[in-house]
Structure 1
Amino acid sequence: MVRLTRAQTQERTRSGVLAAARAEFAAHGYGDAKIDGIAARAGLTRGAIYANFTGKRALYLSVLAADAERAARRSGAGAAQVRSPREALAAIARARLSGRALTGAELPAEVLDDDRVRTAHAQLLTLEAVVLGLALERLGRRGRGTRVAASALTLLAGADGLATSAPGFADPFDVVAACELLAGLPPDRGGPRPYLRHVAPARPVDEPWPGAPAPRDGIVHVLGLHRLEAAEESVRSAPAGADVTVALVAGRPDDLEPLARLVLARLDGTLRQAIPEPARPPLRLLLGPAAADLAAAAGVTEPADDTEAAVRVEAGRLVARADGRGAGYAVVAGAVTRAVARPA
């Protein structure tokens, strides 16, 4: 008989708990599902459930996240014919409407009955709009695309809610057509946020990357789940071709990380189905252990929901550090300033 390692045993237990939770939520919905019912289905004690998950919200979001991740991996490359912002918006709408049962687009109000969770959810949606907006720009959208993407996500969220509360009311073909029309919104120049003029310069350093392997040359932006809107600052400030990696962290990841997994999986599936590869923004989003490792390398040893720090990497070495609001902008602006000041 093969003996399982401790890690394998823990993973098997978590998988069993998630399977039991999925059945409990399917039978009773979020509001009426009980931890005791999940424990009974899993053949475990209530304490064993809490040893693996912080509570019912974390369990529910973990189930949705796992389903969304599977759906994203199964997503076909259906974006080859998308060549314009209008076509992309229609493809985004079709992808979201066809995948609503798997992506958990509409979350029960009880799941979002905590200010900390609501703030993180809003910031995750903002990050989603930033990524999709950048894709629209790469497909020819004039001006900033974030507002258009956010409007499309708002329309689709409303349609998703009505699909549950008033089945048959909204025609999905009309919803797709409405999203297409958002391509005609006036250009939004969206200049840099005023506070960036007052951001302290980054600290020049010359240090080896702590650990291996070093990331590609570019910017590593560490952001708490309440500060994700700042990702747009590093992406837009970075020079052409620079790699931008955003590490998502939280003060208590056990209850917010499943929500982030859900939104990022939904975004991944949408990009695969609606945005051709050349139009996808050069932005990597990391969560979990990989994000924690990058955060530690950037000097963030105790992440918080409002964490903001950034480093710039060149030839495998750290050349600039910054923290606080505008950190992503600071490490780019500082590097550009040094490059300009360097004698010819």
Structure 2
Amino acid sequence: MVRLTRVQQQERTRASVLAAAKVEFVERGYALAKVDRIAERAELTRGAVYSNFPGKRALYLAVLIDLVENAAAGESSAPPVSLADALGAFARIWLERLPLVGDSASGGRLQLRSLDGVLDDERGREVLAQVARLEALLLATTLELYTPAGRRVRLAELVLTLLDGSSHRAETAPGFGDPFDLAHACRHLAGIDLADTWAPPHLPYVSPAEPCADAWEAPTGLADRLGDDQVDLAADGLIAVLGAGRLGAAEEAVRSARPGEQVTLVVVTDDPAETGRLVRLRITDLVGCLRRVFATEAWRHLRLVLDGGSVASAIGLTEPGDATEAAVRVRGGRIVARAQGRGAAHAVATVDGQNVARPPKDTM
């Protein structure tokens, strides 16, 4: 008989819990699902379930993440040649999640990645709003490849609102509406002039970044959620560490960075079991759709890391949480500027090159 290691046993237990939880959520939905029944289905104790997941919401989010990360990738569409084509292709792929008329209500909600009734607290809704702003930015960065001179965040917000609305309608009235009509409508949104500009009123009042010449021990082995490789944090560039409640500030890093400069967005939270899983779910889901439409070249200078604390610790943050907003600039293997608080990424990105601290000569 093969004896399992402790890690292997934990992985097996977790897999059993997830499998049982998926059946429970499909059969009864989130509201009526019970942790006791999930434990019974998995032939485990209630304590075994709670040793892996702190509650039903964390377990539900984990089931959705497992569904999204293990879903068949599907065929990639031909590279879009225009903004309208890009919008239509993205919408068609996103709409593949809509359930069929014969699907069960609970199973359809799972397929839709529905969070209705799940985020029933103020913190959860606030984080979801911030995640939605990051989603819009990521979609916009791809759309802007077709209109380099214009910002397309408002267009991305409009498209995601339309698609999310179709998801809610499919949940309450399965089969209503034609997905092809929705994709066609998204395609025609390219012709709307939203007068989109980037001019946050608080940026002129952001405190300047602090020049420094601090040693930089770059964490390794961190996955880039936008590409297929690991992030090289030792390379020159801007690193913005943002709490789950401050993700809207990601655009400040992207817009303020110098042309061609690598920007790494690092997401942190003090609640990895729920908030961390929520961010991971939504980003993984969106990026999975984007990859089937756009080449990874769309994010050539942008990286996204979901951090367990290593990056935050490396730049000197002792208690990173949802309200964290900090940034550093790395040059020549050292941190040469840092800032913390509202507008930190903008402050570091726009620091005067003459005022940035230079590494000691013996390190250059």
TM over 0.5: yes
Cα distance in 2, alignment partners of residues 100 and 58 from structure 1: 24
Q: Structure 2 matches for 1:247-266, cutoff 5 A?
A: 247-266=266-285
CA change 1:277–1:212 in 2 (3 A) is closer
Say which SS state the counterpart of residue 212 (structure 2) adopts: strand
| More displaced stretch, 157-166 vs 35-44 | 157-166
Say which SS state the counterpart of residue 313 (structure 1) adopts: strand
Cα distance in 1, alignment partners of residues 317 and 336 from structure 2: 16
1:312–1:320 contact (8 Å) kept in structure 2? yes
1:37 aligns to 2:30 (yes or no): no
Deviation at 1:3, TM superposition (A): 3.6
Say which SS state the counterpart of residue 51 (structure 2) adopts: helix
CA change 1:6–1:302 in 2 (3 A) is farther
Q: Tell me which residue corresponds to 1:55.
A: 55
String of CA shifts for 1:111-157, please: whole Å, max 9, x gaps. Answer: 02111111111111110100111111112265211110110000011
Cα distance in 2, alignment partners of residues 293 and 129 from structure 1: 27
Cα distance in 2, alignment partners of residues 212 and 251 from structure 1: 19
Say which SS state the counterpart of residue 247 (structure 1) adopts: strand
Query: 123, 126, 130: which one pairs with 1:119?
Result: 126
Q: Tell me which residue corresponds to 2:333.
A: 316
| More displaced stretch, 295-304 vs 101-110 | 101-110
Deviation at 1:335, TM superposition (A): 4.8
Say which SS state the counterpart of residue 54 (structure 1) adopts: coil
Deviation at 1:284, TM superposition (A): 1.4
Q: Tell me which residue corresponds to 1:4.
A: 4
Cα distance in 2, alignment partners of residues 106 and 69 from structure 1: 12
Q: Structure 2 matches for 1:52-131, cutoff 5 A?
A: 52-71=52-71, 74-78=73-77, 80-100=78-98, 104-131=111-138
Say which SS state the counterpart of residue 351 (structure 2) adopts: helix
Say which SS state the counterpart of residue 320 (structure 1) adopts: strand
Q: Which has a greater percent of helix? A: 1
Cα distance in 1, alignment partners of residues 155 and 186 from structure 2: 9
Cα distance in 1, alignment partners of residues 154 and 132 from structure 2: 12
Cα distance in 2, alignment partners of residues 252 and 293 from structure 1: 15
Say which SS state the counterpart of residue 202 (structure 2) adopts: helix
1:137–1:144 contact (8 Å) kept in structure 2? yes
Q: Structure 2 matches for 1:1-344, cutoff 5 A?
A: 1-71=1-71, 74-78=73-77, 80-100=78-98, 104-140=111-147, 142-211=149-218, 213=220, 214-280=233-299, 282-289=301-308, 292-336=309-353, 338=355
| More displaced stretch, 224-233 vs 43-52 | 43-52
The unaligned stretches of length 5 or more in structure 2 are 100-107, 221-232, 357-364
String of CA shifts for 1:11-55, please: whole Å, max 9, x gaps. Answer: 222111111111111111111110001110111111221111111
TM score, norm. by length of structure 2: 0.87
Cα distance in 2, alignment partners of residues 335 and 4 from structure 1: 57
Cα distance in 1, alignment partners of residues 264 and 74 from structure 2: 24
Count of equivalent residues: 336
Cα distance in 2, alignment partners of residues 164 and 88 from structure 1: 26
Say which SS state the counterpart of residue 157 (structure 1) adopts: helix
CA change 1:179–1:11 in 2 (3 A) is same
Residue identity matched to 2:332: A
Deviation at 1:211, TM superposition (A): 4.5
1:106–1:161 contact (8 Å) kept in structure 2? no
- What is the Cα-based RMSD across aligned positions, in Å? 2.1
Say which SS state the counterpart of residue 215 (structure 1) adopts: coil
2:250–2:265 contact (8 Å) kept in structure 1? yes
Deviation at 1:192, TM superposition (A): 2.7
1:143–1:188 contact (8 Å) kept in structure 2? no
1:85–1:141 contact (8 Å) kept in structure 2? no
Residue identity matched to 2:191: G
CA change 1:64–1:197 in 2 (3 A) is same
The unaligned stretches of length 5 or more in structure 1 are 340-344
Residue identity matched to 1:263: R
1:219–1:310 contact (8 Å) kept in structure 2? yes
CA change 1:314–1:151 in 2 (3 A) is same
CA change 1:312–1:275 in 2 (3 A) is same
Cα distance in 2, alignment partners of residues 99 and 111 from structure 1: 19
Deviation at 1:227, TM superposition (A): 0.6
1:134–1:281 contact (8 Å) kept in structure 2? no
Q: Tell me which residue corresponds to 1:342.
A: none
1:209–1:318 contact (8 Å) kept in structure 2? yes
